[in-house]
Amino acid sequence: MKYAFIHAHSDEWPVTVQCRVLQVTTSGYYAWKAHPGASLPDDEDRLSAMIRATFERHQGAYGVPRITKELRALGHRVNRKRVERLMREMGLSGRQHRRRFKPVTTVVDPEGPVFPDLIQRDFSASEPNQKWVGDITYLHTADGFEYLATVLDLFSRRVVGWALGAEITTELVIRA
């Protein structure tokens, strides 16, 4: 802020006098002025416009950390606290994610059989089609949840089969 003040009033008072009064070094002022990322008075307005444009481009989903990261990726020297202050002054805040319903994918039957670990936690294979493993996951869609069953070959790490269904059933796993 002191350097910006000195810059704004450099035609009224000598820089050396202003630096002495404001207790900053002249070399510090000139280094600030020469640096390409120096905050000049019109920088705040330009930065605010870039922040608003980024915020609107992402439909309000980006908050301070993501906007700061995006501006830095574009080559702008910005501080997270500065972006936070400017966003607060403009009344912008990133959208908060709501916790979504997470479906239950495993129902443990205490009376049911316990199956042995056939691969003994060794997820490597020396040749194709020696060991296959499966997994079931859920996918959030516009219509609710869909369940995806996959079968992987541990040698190539490729999907050798998959099936999609609305419910977790034995049939879904067999189709995969």
pLDDT by residue (tens digit) across 101-131? 677 667 778 888 888 888 888 888 899 999 9
User: Are both 52 and 8 inside the same structural domain?
Assistant: yes
Q: How far apart are CA 58 and CA 82, in angstroms?
A: 20
Q: Which of 58, 90, 122 is the last residue of a domain?
A: 90
Q: Which of 70, 90, 110 is the last residue of a domain?
A: 90
User: Are both 74 and 151 inside the same structural domain?
Assistant: no
Residue 78: Cβ-neighbour burial (10 angstroms; 0-12, 13-18, 19+): buried
Count Cβ atoms below 10 Å from residue 164 Cβ, excluding itself.
13
User: Are both 57 and 112 inside the same structural domain?
Assistant: no
User: Are both 143 and 86 inside the same structural domain?
Assistant: no
Residue 40 has pLDDT above 60, yes or no: no
Q: What is the pLDDT of residue 5?
A: 87
User: Are both 62 and 123 inside the same structural domain?
Assistant: no
Q: What is the pLDDT of residue 37?
A: 59
Q: Which residue has the higher pLDDT, 145 or 66?
A: 66
Alpha helices, DSSP H only, in the chain? 2-8, 15-22, 26-34, 43-57, 64-73, 80-90, 170-175
Rounded to 5 degrees, φ, ψ at 49 are -65, -40
Residue among 176, 83, 171 nearest 133 (CA): 176
User: Are both 106 and 137 inside the same structural domain?
Assistant: yes
User: Are both 33 and 64 inside the same structural domain?
Assistant: yes
CB 172 within 8 A of CB 161: no
User: Are both 115 and 65 inside the same structural domain?
Assistant: no
User: Are both 106 and 167 inside the same structural domain?
Assistant: yes
User: Are both 10 and 78 inside the same structural domain?
Assistant: yes
How many domains would you assign to the chain? 2
Domain that holds residue 104: 98-176
137-147 pLDDT, tens digit each? 888 888 888 89
User: Are both 54 and 30 inside the same structural domain?
Assistant: yes
Residue among 22, 23, 82 nearest 51 (CA): 82
CB 14 within 8 A of CB 29: no
Q: Which of 90, 108, 126 is the last residue of a domain?
A: 90
User: Are both 53 and 122 inside the same structural domain?
Assistant: no
Residue 88 has pLDDT above 60, yes or no: yes
